[in-house]
Amino acid sequence: MQYTQIKKTDPQIYQIIKAEEKRQREGLELIPSENYTSDAVMEAMGSILTNKYSEGYPRKRYYGGQKNIDAMEELAQRRALDLFVPQGSQKNWHINVQPLSGSPANIAVLLALLNFGDKVMGMSLDQGGHLTHGHPVNFSGKAYKFFQYGVRRDNQQIDYNEVEKIAFKIKPKMIISGATAYPRMIDFKRFNAIAKKVGAIHMADIAHIAGLIAGGVHPSPFPFTDVVTTTTHKTLRGPRGGVIFCQKKYASAIDRAVFPGLQGGPHDHINAAKAVCFGEAQKAGFAKYAAQIVKNSKVFAKELKKLGFSLVSDGSDNHLILIDLSNFEITGKIAQETLDKVGITVNKNTVPFGKRSPFDPSGIRLGTAACTTRGMKENDFAMITDLIKNALSNICNEKKLIKIKQQVKKLALKFPVPGIK
C-alpha cells in the first residue's frame, strides 16, 4: 500500500507504518498467532464499508441503508459455512460473523449458553490453553466455575482418559476443547464423545488451527461439535476478527449474546475482509499452503532437536513449536529479546509443569504460518534453525548478533511480504 494520504495528513503515523514495514520485510515472523493478509483482504479492511453502522443482523437492522451490508454479511456467512461445514450438514448449522475477535467470540458463547457460576472444563493456560478457557484473571474464570485439564508429564500431550475422569467427576455444563500453545493434533471427536457422556455442551476453539482445518491437514470438529469458535487471522490468513458456528438450536441465544449482549454495531469493513478471506481459503492454492505449514513445522522441529533444543511433546503436528529452554540455562524472556535484536520474532511462553513466572517463563513459542505465506520451504526453516541457535549462543556478543541480523535480513529479503511493496 502507498499510504499517500496518511503521509500528507499525519507524517508521524506514516513514519511508524513505514518503520513497521521495514521490520516485517527484513525480519522473520515466527509468532504462531501472526500471519500476513492478502492485498485483497487489506483493501476490504480499508474500504468505505467502515462508514456504515449496522446494528442487528441481515434483514433485521435498526438503521436504514443496509441493502449492500446485508448482501456482504450473508455472503460471508455462506462462504464460511461452505469452507468448514460438510454440505450435507449445513442445514443444521448457524453462523455469526460479527464477533470482533476470538476472545469476544468465546465470551459470547459462555454468556449465551451458561449461567454465571456453572461448571465448565477448559485447558489450563500454563499447559497450552487460552485465557478465555477459564483462567482466573479472565472474565471466563471470574464468572464461571472452571475446572482445568492439561497434559501428561511423560509426553506433554492431552490425556483423554484423564479428561473423561474429570468430566465424570464434576459433571460440567460445557467442555471447551482447543488450545493456544499445543503442538499436537486435537481429537475433537473424542472431546465430543466425552461431552455427550456427561450431558455437556462441547465447544471447540479452533482459533490457531482454522487454516489447517480448512486446508485439510488437521481433523475438523465439524459436523459433530455443538459450537465452534475461531479467529479469522492466524493460519486462516484473514483480518483480525472472530466467528461463531453453532448447531441451530443455539442460534438465537448466541446471536443475542453477540448483539446486543456484548457488542453494538458490527465492523462491516472487517466482515467484508472475512468474506474475502473465506473465499481465498476455498481456492486450490490454500490447501497447498496449509500442507506446507505442517511440512515446515516437522522439519523445523527435527532441526531444532538436532541442535539440542528440548521441544514440548518432542515435536509438532501443526503450525506450532514450543521450546523448553531450561537446558540452555536461559529464560524465554532473554531468548525473545535476543532474537528480537537479530530480526527473529518469537514470544516467550510458559511450558507445561514449568516453575517460572509467565512474565519470565522457561519457553518460547514458534510458528511456521507467516514465513510459509512468504513462500519459505523446508530448507529455509533449516537455515532459520541455525540462525536461532547462533543468536542464543551469543547473547552477550553484540558484534556477533549484528552479523546474524545481517544474515536474517539477507534470507528474509528473498521472500516478499504480502501488502508491502
Domains and their CATH numbers in the chain: 44-281 (3.40.640.10), 285-412 (3.90.1150.10)
**pLDDT band for position 329 (50/70/90)?**
confident
Instruction: Say whether 234 is catalytic.
Output: yes
Catalytic residue chosen out of the listed positions 7, 240, 302, 341: 240
Place of cell 476490504: 44
Reported as a single tens digit per residue, the pLDDT across 67-102 is: 999 999 999 999 999 999 999 999 999 999 999 999
Instruction: Say whether 53 is catalytic.
Output: yes
Instruction: Say whether 205 is catalytic.
Output: yes
- Omega cis (within 30) before 260: yes
Report d(CA 292, CA 378) in Å as an integer: 8
pLDDT at 359: 84
Instruction: Say whether 34 is catalytic.
Output: no
Residue 355 pLDDT greater than 90, yes or no:
no
| 363 to 67, 313, 346: CA distances (angstroms) | 50, 13, 10
Q: With b meaning 16 or more CB within 10 Å and e meaning fewer, what string describes 360-378?
A: ebbbbbbbbbbbbbbebee
Instruction: Say whether 55 is catalytic.
Output: yes
- Residue with the larger pLDDT of the pair 421 and 251: 251
**pLDDT band for position 105 (50/70/90)?**
very high
pLDDT at 419: 87
Reported as a single tens digit per residue, the pLDDT across 213-245 is: 999 999 999 988 999 999 999 999 999 999 999
Residue 1 pLDDT greater than 80, yes or no:
no
Closest CA to 85 of 239, 204, 184, 186: 204
pLDDT at 107: 98
Reported as a single tens digit per residue, the pLDDT across 291-314 is: 999 999 999 999 999 999 999 999
Catalytic residue chosen out of the listed positions 231, 235, 373, 385: 231
Residue 382 pLDDT greater than 80, yes or no:
yes
Catalytic residue chosen out of the listed positions 79, 184, 234, 237: 234
Strands 60-61 and 56-57: antiparallel
| 56 to 26, 47, 397: CA distances (angstroms) | 43, 21, 58
* Cell, residue 251: 442460534
Residue 357 pLDDT greater than 80, yes or no:
yes
Catalytic residue chosen out of the listed positions 53, 78, 145, 256: 53
| Terminal Cα distance for the chain, rounded | 7
Phi/psi class of residue 142: alpha, beta or left (left: φ > 0; alpha: ψ in -120 to 50)?
Answer: alpha
The mean pLDDT of 101-121, rounded to a whole number, is 98
Reported as a single tens digit per residue, the pLDDT across 258-290 is: 999 999 999 999 999 999 999 999 998 999 999
Give the strand order in the sheet containing 320-324. Answer: 310-311, 320-324, 363-367, 347-349
pLDDT at 368: 98
Instruction: Output the 3-class SS for the chain.
Output: CCCHHHHHHCHHHHHHHHHHHHHHHHCEECCCCCCCCCHHHHHHHCCHHHHCCCCEECCEECCCCCHHHHHHHHHHHHHHHHHHCCHHHHHHEEEECCCCCHHHHHHHHHHHHCCCCCEEEEECHHHCCCHHHCCCCCHHHHHCEEEEECECCCCCCECHHHHHHHHHHHCCCEEEECCCCCCCCCCHHHHHHHHHHCCCEEEEECCCCHHHHHCCCCCCCCCCCCEEEEECCHHHCCCCCEEEEEEHHHHHHHHHHHHHHHCCCCCHHHHHHHHHHHHHHCCHHHHHHHHHHHHHHHHHHHHHHHCCCEEHHHCCCCCEEEEECHHHCCCHHHHHHHHHHCCEECEEECCCCCCCCCCCCCEEEEECHHHHHCCCCHHHHHHHHHHHHHHHCCCCCHHHHHHHHHHHHHHHCCCCCCCCC
The mean pLDDT of 20-42, rounded to a whole number, is 97
The mean pLDDT of 28-36, rounded to a whole number, is 98
Instruction: Say whether 182 is catalytic.
Output: no
**pLDDT band for position 144 (50/70/90)?**
very high
